[in-house]
Amino acid sequence: MFTQDIIQIIKNYEVKGSRYGLQSTRNLLNALGSPDDHLKIIHIAGTNGKGSTAEYLTQILTAAGEKVGTFTSPEVYSYLEKFKINGQPLSEDKLKKYLEQSYYKSTEFEIKPTAFEVETAAALLAFYKEGCTYCVLECGLGGLSDSTNAINKKELAIITSIGLEHTALLGDTLTKICEQKSGIIKNCPCVVSAFQYEETLNYFKEKNAIIADEPIEKLSGNALAQTFLYGGEEYKINMLGTPQLYNAATAIKAAVLLNIPKIAIKTGLKNAKLLGRVEVINNAKTGVTYILDGSHNPDSFTPLCNLLKELNNFNSCLIFGCLSDKNVEKSAKILGDYFNLAYAVSPQSYRAMDEDEIYLSLKKYIKRVNKKTSVEQALSSTCNKLVVVCGTFTILKEAKEWIEKRL
């Protein structure tokens, strides 16, 4: 159908930016036969924890014998990661087929859908055609006007922890952010993570949302896993940091509402894993430990900082890059306590923040800071035994490729 690779067409289309509103996506879904009407959709919004909660629920439902489609963004190492069935990326051939159908239909409209709108419709079409019963659908940005909210119906809405982010679009107060996120609550029950500011928790209580607020007791934890009690039951997860206990609890609460058996919940939680979230890679040849973390706003650095406290390694280096709409100043302040050396890099993205701006923020809180033109150049420059690459998922692929060539 296309002389150019459809995935590359979509990626090139991304530079045109986003559009907030539901009608364009709804029109496209209607033109594709309303595939969303045939799926049990669990819709997830929030500032932090969306991807983790989506992974927990995907694995829980899979363990329960369901066929589950999961659409998340952004990808970490491969574009295919955004479109998964039972936790595995859709094959490239199948993905291209559904992207082509969605994109072809989009060209018929006077106002062309954006890349994300085309992807959203393609994902729902793929999950329906591939026989999924459930769809775990992550909001791209916000909730109320995010294209994923164009779906006609949903089984459950989930809202993870809320913080100030994308304030120019979503509002400059926590209440305004909550108003946007709560827009996904449409004729369905809603489960909300208890890992919230008091203001946001009160907001959702007033909305009669179900708060996952049973007491959580951490039993044990190390750099690889943690166990905890929730609702009197013991669970194990392989994701790090206190926020993950709350993300898991939110998934447990949602699964109970969906009548998922307890054994499937426990199995799913143990099976869940995420790339690029405090991902630890040890190079046995050199003795260097690398930590790759896609955290991209101040509140999301907690798991990384907790691990850094545990490791207590003073021979550490930070490689940091971020996108232009992020609070680099506050992120630099939080991370500054753990590093004496940092490299500022600019991600390979049309949304990238310039390394000069990143450098100026890092310089306020870290003793030695240098600018590098790429992640590869920064990694080649460091001699430290602990190297942390973080600030955005956009820089992790380049980092991992460099690291794996040297294992």
Q: Give the Cα separation of 364 and 359 in Å (integer).
A: 9
3 state SS of 330: helix
Residue bearing the bigger pLDDT, 301 or 148: 148
Q: How many helices (H) and strands (E) does the chain have?
A: 15, 17
Task: Please name the residues in contact with 142: beta carbons below 8 A apart, sequence gap of 6 or more.
Answer: 20, 45, 166, 169, 170, 180, 181, 183
CATH 3.20.20.150 matches 279-404? no
**Residue ranges of domains in the chain:** 6-271, 279-404
Q: How many residues does the chain have?
A: 407
Q: Give the Cα separation of 195 and 246 in Å (integer).
A: 6
Q: Give the Cα separation of 220 and 217 in Å (integer).
A: 9
For the entire predicted model, the pTM comes to: 0.87
Q: Is the confidence at residue 310, as pLDDT, over 90?
A: no
Average pLDDT, the chain: 92
3 state SS of 220: strand
298 in Cβ contact with 211 (< 8 Å): no
The token duo for 8 is: 């590359």
CA-closest candidate to residue 339, choices 373, 283, 378:
378
Q: Name residue 214's beta-bridge partners.
A: none
Average pLDDT in the 241-259 region? 95
Q: Is the confidence at residue 348, as pLDDT, over 90?
A: no
pLDDT digits (tens, 9 = 90+) for 84-135: 999 999 999 999 999 999 999 999 998 889 999 999 999 999 999 999 999 9
pLDDT at site 3: 47
CA-closest candidate to residue 177, choices 227, 141, 208:
141
Sheet with 233-237, side-by-side order of all strands = 216-221, 226-230, 233-237
Q: Name residue 316's beta-bridge partners.
A: 386
Q: Is the confidence at residue 164, as pLDDT, over 70?
A: yes
pLDDT digits (tens, 9 = 90+) for 58-80: 999 999 999 999 999 988 899 99
pLDDT digits (tens, 9 = 90+) for 319-329: 999 988 888 99
Q: Write out the H or E segment, with its range, that includes residue 230.
A: strand 226-230
**What CATH number is given for 6-271 in this structure?**
3.40.1190.10
CA-closest candidate to residue 105, choices 31, 34, 33:
31
Q: Give the Cα separation of 358 and 352 in Å (integer).
A: 10
For 76, half-sphere exposure in the C-beta direction (CA atoms, 13 angstrom radius) is 20
The token duo for 122 is: 């393609």
The token duo for 356 is: 């000069």
306 in Cβ contact with 241 (< 8 Å): yes
For 124-176, give the secondary structure using H, E and C. HHHHHHCCCCEEEEECCCCCCCCHHHHCCCCCEEEECECCCCCHHHHCCCHHH
pLDDT at site 236: 97
Q: Give the Cα separation of 310 and 222 in Å (integer).
A: 8
Give the whole-number percent of the chain exceeding pLDDT 70. Answer: 96
Q: Give the Cα separation of 178 and 173 in Å (integer).
A: 9
- CA 289 to chain CA centroid, Å, is 24
Confidence of residue 19 (pLDDT cuts 50, 70, 90): confident
pLDDT digits (tens, 9 = 90+) for 385-402: 999 999 998 899 999 999
Average pLDDT in the 256-263 region? 98
Confidence of residue 151 (pLDDT cuts 50, 70, 90): very high
